[in-house]
Amino acid sequence: MVTQVTSLSRSGVSDWLIQRVSAIVVALYTVVLLGWILLAGDVSYAAWRELFSSTWMQVFTLIALLATCGHAWVGMWTIGSDYLRSRTLGQGADALRYVYQIVCVLILLVYLVWGVKILWGSP
């Protein structure tokens, strides 16, 4: 079982569940957006702005953004823990893995803050 402190949930089963649930959320979001684009006909800036000014779409987008960040973190953590090991890279692999994880967290935080700013910021 996964017990490292940098794991999102400290459990491999929970990480697996986070990945699956977040994938479903992002898939639903994609279906809703594609459905709207197909049904809207003429997709103009005004129509796009009207869609994203509705509270339900802002909340749905925020949920999809959080799901994307959770999904990405579990995936990037798994890559780091599987491939950045001392057995494959030698000494210094632990330091490299922690730098890699810090960079991933910073990128995800920027992505999340930027997304929230776009969603809830003033026009």
Q: Give the mean pLDDT of the chain.
A: 86
| Segments making up each domain of the chain, as ranges | 12-120
* Backbone angles phi and psi of 122, in degrees to 5: -75, 150
How far is it, in rounded angstroms, from Cα 49 to Cα 44?
8
Helix (H) or strand (E) run with residue 118 in it? helix 93-120
Whether residue 68 contacts residue 3, with contact meaning beta carbons closer than 8 Å, is answered with no
**pLDDT for residue 94 is more than 90:** no
Q: State the average pLDDT over residues 32-36.
A: 96
**pLDDT for residue 87 is more than 50:** yes
**pLDDT for residue 99 is more than 70:** yes
Q: Which fold has domain 12-120?
A: 3 helical TM bundles of succinate and fumarate reductases (1.20.1300)
